[in-house]
Amino acid sequence: MLHQIKCLTAIQLCNICGLNIVRHGKDKSKRMRFIGMGIVYVILMLALFGYISAFTIGMVSLGIGEVVPYYLYMIVSLVILCFSFFKAANIIFQINTYEIQISLPVSKAAIVTSRFLTMYVTDLLISMAVIIPGGILYGILMKPSFGFYIWGIIGMLFLPCIPLTIATAAGSLIFAISSRMRYKNLVNILLSIGLIVAILGVNFGIAGYQESLEQIDLTMLRNLAVMAIEQIQKIYPPAGWFGNSVLGNNLAQGGMLIGVSLIFAGILLAILQKFFIVICSALNATAAKNNYKMGSLSASSAMKALWKREIKRYFASSVYVVNTIVGYILALMMTVALWVLGGKNVLEMLDLPAEWNILLVLPFVLSMVGNLMPMSSCSISMEGKQWWLAQTLPITMKQILDGKILANLSIAFPFFAVAEVFAFLAVKPSLKDGIWLIVVPLVYTLFLSVAGLTINLAFPVFDWENEVRVVKQSASTMLTLLLSMISSMIPIVLLILFGDLHMIINAATVVMISAATLVLYKRNQKVTV
């Protein structure tokens, strides 16, 4: 069985990473897209390294460097938990390859284990990207014992196990519940969104609780470090086990980390193997009634038909919905939190002066958070191998793209409308500030809807087997994310530095973003894929 697991895992990793395209493909454009995606990941890695370096150097300079291993381990675990939750169940119960693999002379255990290992390897890369540079920098500054490096490597290897197991268990439970219901995708989406809201709510609560703890004794850094470590151990015990083993060569704590990781993963795999075929078969089943009656036929315009087609395609994929809607949910929850806590309390939590006007940056922060990943950033790729069907219809490329933009706006605007209501209730802006609070998110939403299509047209992925590859791992989604952050951060930085010129900065930004939207919109209509 080990040979079967090895082969299946290698095949899935090659499909996810696109290595076979680079090694054996003859299409130079696909190779260039793969290289482009590699560059995007390198940029993200450099940004991550900068954050880790700044944090480590800052903690060491304050004399509380022992917090670093605990903090990094917990943060990476939370990142893996969030990212894995969005993809874990879809990879485990991947329907597109289920019928092929189940007919092969391989065991259920090999199939399930290989799919779990595929996620483990990708999450291990995240673990290595944080723990290795953080550990090296910590070692240079603090000069720990040799055991620090040994336990650091062991902890890094086992880091993904527990968060990946929790995410897979939660996602599989949602799939198992929804698979027995008629509207599987809708139930899956609602349960996933409910869990996302709960996770975000807990994170907001933890942040507020930690803030209150930090105010207990601001002058005693040593006490602050002890309190921080205690809180991390309470919130996520494996981070405590890791920190105690690397800093104190604690064999018992290290053994606890290894043992719990293996036990969690082993129990989950045993349960998944037992119910694997049942859940996959249920997900692949369809419900139908025998009371169909011919009714009146109705016709609609091409645009309305294309819009309905996009909306149906959108809600047919839980991966598509959950990953693209999380930004809108986060923006809504952010404004609700602002309304509940009040602007002054938020300024105190962010260590900003009380006289500072939060309205200066709120429109751009709302725009950035809400438009982290518009559905248009992968709507072309989601067509898959059926993209040619849309192009053979008696409609223009403009109509196809307009349908996708309209569908994106139909999902985004309701969330932004409610978020705007809470934002107005929270900050009570003047007339001119209220106008900017409405106009800026509106302009950015239009811009990123169009820009997402532009990027996806340049980096389409049609040969995917799993929607996770398109929604979470494609170059177009990463580039759209970067564009959203950079285009919003530039005016935010300018407003922080030159707050007195906020009217000029806002107006100039809106004009430039609107002009870019118009240019990209016209360009998209001339592109052929």
Domain segments of the chain as ranges: 2-11+41-284, 302-524
pLDDT on residue 218 = 40
Inter-residue contact 351 to 498 (CB < 8 Å): no
Give the model's pLDDT for residue 1: 77
Q: Which amino acid is at 163?
A: P
How confident is the model over 191-209, as a mean pLDDT?
54
The Cα 252–Cα 433 span in angstroms is 58
Greater model confidence, 87 or 336: 336
Q: How far is CA 441 from CA 116, 317, 357, 444, in A?
A: 39, 27, 18, 5
State residue 209's pLDDT score. 42
pLDDT, average across residues 384-389: 80
Non-local (6+) Cβ contacts of 90 within 8 A are: 171, 318, 319, 466, 467, 468
Give me 346's structure tokens. 């938020």
Using only the alpha carbons of the chain, give its radius of gyration: 25
Q: In the prediction, which pLDDT does 391 show?
A: 76
Q: Compute CA distances 432 → 133, 283, 325, 329, whole Å.
A: 47, 52, 30, 26
Reported as a single tens digit per residue, the pLDDT across 127-170 is 888 888 888 888 888 888 888 899 999 989 998 899 889 888 88
Band of pLDDT at residue 198, cut at 50, 70 and 90:
low
> Can you tell me the mean pLDDT for 377-387?
86
The three-class DSSP label of residue 250 is: coil
SS3 of 381, please? helix
CB environment 204-222: b (16+ within 10 A), e (fewer): beeeeeeeeeeeeeeeeee
Between residues 198 and 503, the one the model is more confident about: 503
Structure tokens at 397: 């490329």
Going by pLDDT thresholds of 50, 70 and 90, the confidence category of residue 186 is: low
Please say whether the beta carbons of 476 and 378 come within 8 A: yes
| Tens of pLDDT, residues 235-272 | 788 888 888 888 888 888 889 999 999 999 899 888 88
Greater model confidence, 3 or 40: 3
CA distance 64 to 58: 9
The distance of Cα 25 from the centroid of its chain, to the nearest Å, equals 29
Distance CA 488, CA 368 (A): 6
pLDDT at 215 (0 to 100): 44
Say yes or no to pLDDT of 437 above 80: yes
End-to-end CA distance of the chain: 42
- pLDDT at position 393 is 78
386, 460 Cβ separation under 8 angstroms: no
b/e per residue, 319-337, with b = 16+ CB within 10 A? bbbbbbbbbbbbbbbbbbb
Burial of residue 197, with CB atoms counted within 10 A of its CB: 0-12 exposed, 13-18 middle, 19 or more buried: middle
Residue 20 reports pLDDT greater than 70: no
Average pLDDT score over residue span 511-528: 91
What distance in Å separates the CA atoms of residue 441 and residue 363, rounded to the nearest whole number? 6
| C-alpha to C-alpha distance for 251 and 410, rounded to whole angstroms | 55
Q: How many angstroms separate the Cα of 110 from the Cα of each of 73, 157, 203, 466?
A: 30, 21, 36, 19
pLDDT grade for 448, boundaries at 50, 70 and 90 = very high
Q: Among candidates 522, 82, 137, 23, which has minimal Cα distance to 326?
A: 82
- Give the mean pLDDT of the chain: 79
Average pLDDT of span 516-523: 94
Average pLDDT on 270-297 reads 68
Percent of the chain with pLDDT over 70: 77
Question: pLDDT band at 505, cuts 50/70/90?
Answer: very high
- According to the model, what pLDDT value does residue 235 have? 77
Instruction: Give me the percent of the chain exceeding a pLDDT of 90.
Output: 17
Decide if 279 contacts 175 (C-beta within 8 A): yes
